[in-house]
Structure 1
Amino acid sequence: MPAHQRADARRNYARILAVAEEEVAAHGVNASLEQIARTAGVGSATVRRHFPTRSALLKAVSRTRIEALCVRAHDLAGEDDSRSALLEWLSDVVAYCASARGFAAALAYDDEAGPDSVYENACSAAIEEAGAPLLHRAVQDGAVERGITIGELITLIVGIALASEHHPDPAAQADRLFRLAVAGLSPRS
């Protein structure tokens, strides 16, 4: 939010964002923009002025947690076991995606840009930038197979979160599917 905006515009932005966080948590990516406007005590045009697209609103709602996940990746970069550090961070991303309905969609590539767009959205870019050093180190240590990209891992997480979204316990199901993906189908020895 630009600092040069009027005080009432900044208050409206903050109020809309707070209400949107609650609505998205309760109703996911399809939270009603009209309901958000009513609850925030503003008109829908005010919501659209601050957040011209649903995607822009989801990105704003997710920004704080994305920043926390980025800090977490940085903190884990110093761990001795590079594979465990990567998996712990990815598990944190899975847990957040499962608990905050709509976050997985915010990480998905931006379909509003069109099918030929090569630009990913800002949420995905920030998460990928934060996780890339963890993956790179795990690959260098021989703890993760070469050729895997951080984009592929985030795509896997998005798929798991979206597939688990309507499960009675989405967080537990997402965690189970993530662990299955990590372990593979081979029996434990």
Structure 2
Amino acid sequence: MVLSDSKESPNWMTSAMSQVLYECGCIGATNYLRIAGHLSLTQGIAVDIKSLRAAFEGLPGFCAIDGDSGWFIMGPTENSTAANRVRKLMSVSTGPVGIDVIANALITDDRWIERNDGGALCVPPIYVLSKIIASWSWIVGDKHNKYRLRKPISHIELLNETELHILQTLERKGGGCYQG
């Protein structure tokens, strides 16, 4: 059911799909509650979960992550902003990387927040994040939520000039760096 104050309901599906693709392109997934909230704030309408499920579940590229909480992926997310951030992290890693480290890398990405004008993008819950990562072909995880690359990736191709400089400085100083 769609509730609206106007006699002519705006084309909410276009706005909803645009937001779904934006969020999946950034964080790798979204959920029905986030899309309903977006429609309420931008279109002034209330779209229930049943209507959103009906609109999206049959579309090509739809993949439910968690039916109960409504998290889903729409289309490939291998090159999402989150995937690119994780790819950089994995390219400089000397061993498997835990889901907690990956989540922290995403949560503390100031540039991500700036790109969204301080908006409402957020890192999904850990169990959702692990399912998003599992959908990427270039990474493999174990039963303990530790991840490694399927094939090595050159960090030189991924890191920007500043990141390369920081990495070179760390390597000259003997390696690791810890947040503290």
Question: Does the TM-score normalized on the shorter chain lie above 0.5?
Answer: no
Normalized against structure 2, the TM-score is what? Answer: 0.31
Specify which structure has the higher proportion of strand: 2
Normalized against structure 1, the TM-score is what? Answer: 0.30
Specify which structure has the higher proportion of helix: 1
